[in-house]
Structure 1
Amino acid sequence: MTAVNNYLTIHPFIPFPELNMSEAAITSTSTAPSALNRRDVTRDIFSASIGSVACCYTGQPFDTVKVRMQTNPSAFPSVAFTTRSILANEGASALWKGAVPTAMGMVAENAMAFGVNEALKRTFPDEAKKDPTLRPDLVKPFLMGAITGCCSATVLIPSEIVKAKTQVIVGNVEASSTEVYKKMIRQHGLRSLFVGFDAQIMRDAPFYAFFFGTYELNCYLFRTYVPSMPEELNYFLSGGFAGMLGWTAAMPFDVPKTNVQASWESRVVGSYFPELFRIVKERGPLALYTGLVPTLARAFPANAALFLGVEMGKKFFDRFVWP
């Protein structure tokens, strides 16, 4: 204090700046970017919903074939045989079994997935994207994708369980998703909606890591090496390839997950690894890739439609919904 008093005695007319702390705090808060501002969150949900419906009805037939092959490989040994069997015995509409809960689940899942991923991008922005001469960070999207997968699994799991149980019903047996849901609640209560939770996490974390990571990578590569490509085609191709790579990475985790969730005897946690070891012991490691062909056949068109729908939904929202 003595030093300060001496300074003021020698320099009596040098003013000290006055700062209104409350105004400064308000200014800082209002100008700082928010990861959860109302407009951006609404935009994320709107665009994800459009993409989800397009994705579901584009890819559901492939998914039904995949589930039949995974849960009953002796009865459905190949894609062609499974498809012919379903069409001959159950009709074309059977390929869309479980589409309604899947669409509802996809809207919820993708609203969560794209919402979390976009919020993470706003929270941890890549400054290199502001300068087209710099290469963007191509590692961060993979890490954000893994975090996104863990979050979305909690939303997706009830619809995944209902879908799996509905799709494995063979023949012309009338069993709606609502009836399956009621049976689940009647037999096992609310816990039945979270059967195989550990299996869901094991699949979704690697899937979304590659899903969002390779999408950003593909978009960057197309813009860099094919600069004349229309943006819409870039979204379509990048999304399709991202879906294929995501499912290739997640497939070994998906087969035991499907079996766990299709069973009426599985537990919320603890059934995944016993099922994984059983499959490998009885059918060999390659059995973990059962259904890979229909999965990849579905992955490209379904996820191309998803990302194109999301990106075009953003543009529509910016222009007509909330300019």
Structure 2
Amino acid sequence: MSDTSILNDYIAGCIGGGAGMIAGHPLDTVKVQIQTQEYGGKYSSLMDCFKTVNQQKMSKGFFRGLSWPLLSSSYLNAIFFGTYGLVLKKLDYLDDLTHKPSYWTLGFAAALATAPQLLFSVPVEVIKVSLQSQIPHSHDVPTTVSRKYYKGPFEALRDIAKTSGLRGLYRGFSTQFVRDTPAASMYMMSYTFFQYEAQLQQNVIPAQLTNFVGGGVAGVLSWLIIMPVDVIKSKIQADPAGRMYKGFWDCAKHLYSSGGIKVFFLGFVPMAVRAFPVNAVTLMVYSEVLEQLNRRTSISS
């Protein structure tokens, strides 16, 4: 894997990340709304949540909190896929699907690639979740944490930084690390498995379809294994001042006492519906862009 191909990984990850973010943010907003309500609280059903969010203007409803994740998703995915490619290069791993993939190597590379990404993604997540959790409901039931309503990400940033400092902006860092590391490993291992199995069919299945379906299934599988941690993360990051929860285990105990095991799977339906198209689009665009860039590189060299 040459230095040019690593640069191609960064560029392809950048473009794929932006495409996936736009596709999935509305359902992500619904997921966060369900996860951050008090258990048995303001929403009577999933459709009630959809209707409530839909009553707001798009920027205050389904797309509330989108701007910073959208602006950051490109470089965050560039960091992930670029670091992923760099780790594989350092391990002298030949990523061309001519031989059966070493899935443990791919999982290890993906896990390492999440570390530099978290330095930038956690503050963005804290601001995004804070904004998404504030969509009002006609029942007038308070959200998990009582705080001022933010007009946008800059106001959220200023208030969190003023009241809680850097610690508030990195609220839930360890929880997000526990969530993202196994998810990334499962993500790349599953996706490569689908790519490898598809190419064994002697190109009967179109590459674009393989990338789309493989990316979608990989996304759903990666989210399934970390769903309980994601619920805890949303709760903690919707509380940047730390008024409700002292940390991961304190939050987990409060959640379990309020609703048992099932509370850890709040937002499962919108997560599953969202995960397929978002990851399908992200990895399909990433793979297609990477292939075109590598092809142009080989022609010019």
Give the TM-score taking structure 2 as reference length: 0.86
Shift in Å at residue 62 of structure 1? 0.5
**Pairing 1:141–2:106 present:** yes
Unaligned runs of 5+ in 1: 1-32
Aligned to 1:167: 132
Whole-Å Cα distance in 2 between the matches of residues 40 and 197 of structure 1? 31
Mapping 1:55-66, distance limit 5 Å: 55-66=20-31
The ranges of structure 1 where at least 4 consecutive aligned residues each deviate by more than 4 angstroms after the TM superposition are 319-323
Matching residue within 119, 131, 148 for 1:154? 119
Bigger radius of gyration among the two: 1
1:123 to 68, 86, 90: 90
> In 1, distance between residues paired with 2:45 and 2:114?
30
Q: Separation in 2 of the partners of 1:169 and 1:65?
A: 12
> Is 1:246 equivalent to 2:212 in the alignment?
no
Alpha-carbon distance in 2 for matches of 1:197, 1:131: 35
The percentage of counterpart residues that share the same residue type is 24
How is 1:129-278 mapped onto 2 (pairs within 5 angstroms)?
132=98, 134-171=99-136, 175-225=151-201, 227-266=203-242, 271-278=247-254
Pairwise CA distance, 1:139? 2.5
1:179-236 CA-partner distances (Å, limit 9, x unpaired) = 1111112212233221111111111111111111111111112222473111111111
**Matched AA of 2:79:** M
Deviation string 1:59-109 (CA, Å, 9 cap, x unpaired) is: 000000000000014112432221111112x13441011111111232232
Determine if contact 2:35/2:234 at 8 Å carries over to the other structure. Answer: yes
Contact between 1:166 and 1:180, CA under 8 Å: does it hold in 2? yes
- TM-score (norm: length of structure 1): 0.81
The equivalent residue for 2:141 is none
Q: Equivalents in 2 of 1:224, 1:197: separation in Å?
A: 41
Task: Name the CA shift for 1:174/1:258 in 2 (closer, same or farther; >3 Å).
Answer: closer
CA–CA distance in 2 between the matches of 1:116 and 1:229?
Answer: 29
- Matched-pair contact (CA < 8 Å) for 1:64–1:97: yes
Deviating more after overlay: 241-250 vs 269-278? 269-278
Higher helix share: 1
Cα root mean square deviation, aligned: 2.4
Matched pairs, number: 284
CA–CA separation in structure 2 for the residues paired with 1:68 and 1:131: 41
Cα distance in structure 2, aligned partners of 1:77 and 1:272: 27
Is the contact made by 2:12 and 2:287 (CA closer than 8 Å) also made in structure 1? Answer: yes
- Tell me the alpha carbon deviations over residues 16-54 of structure 1, each in whole angstroms, 9 at most, x when there is no partner: xxxxxxxxxxxxxxxxx66xx3x3343222111111111
Farther-moved stretch of structure 1 (310-319 vs 238-247):
310-319
2:71 counterpart (96, 99, 104): 104
In structure 2, what residue type is equivalent to 1:189? G
CA distance in structure 2 between the partners assigned to 1:276 and 1:77 by the alignment: 23
> Structure 2: which amino acid aligns with 1:219?
Q
Aligned residue in 1 for 2:145: none
Letter in 1 for 2:171: V
- AA aligned to 1:120 is V
